[in-house]
C-alpha cells in the first residue's frame, strides 16, 4: 500500500482551485520532487497534505500506519524566526510536539531523540547557540533536525536550499539523500530541475498541465520536454 495517496485532489484558496483533480501516490522509500512555476500551488499542495488546509474536493489518504501528526515538515522560513531568541536545542526539541499530546513536558526519550536528530544533521555542537546567529545553511539543518524529530517515515521539504550558497546547498542535498537512503520517504519542492532529475525517483510537475510519474517517464513526456526547454530558454 502507498504511504501517501491523493485521489482527485482539488486545492486552493477561498474556494478558488489552483489545481483540479490531481491524483498521485507515493510508495515507501520514494524520493518525489515537486516542480512547477512560482504560484502554481506547490506549497499549497504541501499544506493540504499536512492537513493545514482542507482540500476543496478529493482526498488525501495516508497508508503504512502513518498518522497525520507523524509527517515531518520543513517549511520555508518566516520573518518572525529570523529574530527569534531560541537555542538550537529548544527548536529541535519542539519537533517532538506531536508525540507530546496533552503531556506538558518532554520525556527523557524525547530529549534523546532530539539529540540523535542533531547528531545526524551535525548540529550537535551548536546545541546551545542562538538560532538567529547561525548561518542560513546551519538554520536549515536545525529545522531539518526538528522535522526529523516528528517522523520516522515521511518528510515534506519546502525548498530546503532556498537562499543557500553553493557549498551549503551541496551539504543540504547530501544530508537529505542520506535520510532517503535510511528509508525515509521524501517529498521535496524544488526549483532546481537539474538536481531533481539527477536525484529524485519520481517527478510531480504541477501547473496547468500536470504530470506525475517516474523520472524516466517524465523525460519522455511532452510536458517534461516542454518544461525542460522553457527552463533552458530562461538561462
Partner 1 sequence: MLQQLLTYLEYPFVRYALIVGTLIALCSSLFGVTLVLKRFSFIGDGLSHVAFGAIAVASVLRLSSDMLFVLPATVLCAVLLLRVGQNAKIKGDAAIAMMSVGALAIGYLLMNLFSTSANISGDVCSTLFGSTSILTLSKAEVWLCVALSILVVAVYLLFYNKIFAVTFDESFARASGLSVNACNLLIAVIIAVIIVLAMNLVGSLLISALVIFPALSAMRVFRSFQAVTVCSAIVSVCATLTGMLISILAETPVGSTIVAVDIAVFALFSLAGKILKRA
Site of interaction with partner 1 (CB under 8 A): 47, 50-52, 68-69, 71, 73, 75, 78, 80-81, 84-87, 90-91, 93-95, 97-98, 100, 104-106, 128-130, 132-133, 146-147, 150
Nearer residue to partner 1 within complex by CB, 126 or 172: 126
SS3 136: helix
Q: Please, are residues 151 and 99 in contact by the beta-carbon 8 Å criterion?
A: no
d(CA 128, CA 229): 47
Query: Minimum Å distance from CB 65 to partner 1?
Result: 16
Query: Minimum Å distance from CB 192 to partner 1?
Result: 23
Query: Minimum Å distance from CB 81 to partner 1?
Result: 7
Nearer residue to partner 1 within complex by CB, 143 or 196: 143
Residue for grid cell 495517496: 5
Query: Minimum Å distance from CB 94 to partner 1?
Result: 5
Q: Please, are residues 184 and 192 in contact by the beta-carbon 8 Å criterion?
A: no
Nearer residue to partner 1 within complex by CB, 51 or 198: 51
Nearest by Cα to 4 from 226, 202, 233, 196 = 202
Q: Please, are residues 188 and 201 in contact by the beta-carbon 8 Å criterion?
A: no
Nearer residue to partner 1 within complex by CB, 37 or 81: 81
By CB neighbour count within 10 A (0-12 exposed, 13-18 middle, 19+ buried), where does 117 fall? buried
Nearest by Cα to 155 from 201, 176, 186, 200 = 186
CA geometry: angle at 181 spanning 177 and 186, to 5°?
A: 60
Nearer residue to partner 1 within complex by CB, 130 or 219: 130
Query: Minimum Å distance from CB 197 to partner 1?
Result: 28
Query: Minimum Å distance from CB 85 to partner 1?
Result: 5
Residue for grid cell 537512503: 181
Nearer residue to partner 1 within complex by CB, 179 or 203: 179
Amino acid at each position: 500500500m502507498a504511504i501517501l495517496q491523493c485521489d482527485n485532489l482539488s486545492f486552493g484558496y477561498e474556494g478558488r482551485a489552483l489545481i483540479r483533480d490531481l491524483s498521485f501516490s507515493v510508495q515507501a522509500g520514494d524520493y518525489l520532487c515537486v516542480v512547477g512555476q512560482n504560484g502554481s500551488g506547490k506549497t499549497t499542495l504541501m499544506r493540504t497534505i499536512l492537513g493545514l488546509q482542507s482540500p476543496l474536493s478529493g482526498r488525501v489518504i495516508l497508508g503504512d500506519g502513518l498518522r497525520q501528526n507523524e509527517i515531518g515538515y520543513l517549511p520555508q522560513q518566516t520573518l518572525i524566526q529570523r529574530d527569534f531568541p531560541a537555542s538550537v536545542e529548544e527548536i529541535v526539541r519542539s519537533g517532538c510536539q506531536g508525540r507530546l499530546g496533552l503531556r506538558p513536558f518532554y520525556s527523557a526519550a524525547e530529549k534523546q531523540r532530539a539529540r540523535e536528530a542533531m547528531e545526524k544533521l551535525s548540529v550537535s555542537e551548536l546545541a546551545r547557540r542562538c538560532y538567529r546567529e547561525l548561518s542560513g545553511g546551519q538554520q536549515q539543518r536545525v529545522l531539518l533536525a526538528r522535522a526529523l524529530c516528528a517522523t520516522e517515515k515521511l518528510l515534506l521539504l519546502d525548498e530546503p536550499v532556498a537562499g543557500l550558497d553553493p557549498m551549503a546547498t551541496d551539504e543540504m542535498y547530501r544530508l537529505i539523500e542520506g535520510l532517503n537512503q535510511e528509508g525515509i520517504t521524501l517529498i521535496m519542492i524544488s526549483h532546481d530541475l537539474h538536481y531533481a532529475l539527477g536525484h529524485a525517483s519520481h517527478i510531480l510537475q504541477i501547473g496547468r498541465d500536470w504530470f506525475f510519474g517516474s523520472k524516466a517517464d517524465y523525460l519522455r513526456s511532452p510536458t517534461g520536454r516542454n518544461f525542460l526547454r522553457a527552463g533552458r530558454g530562461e538561462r
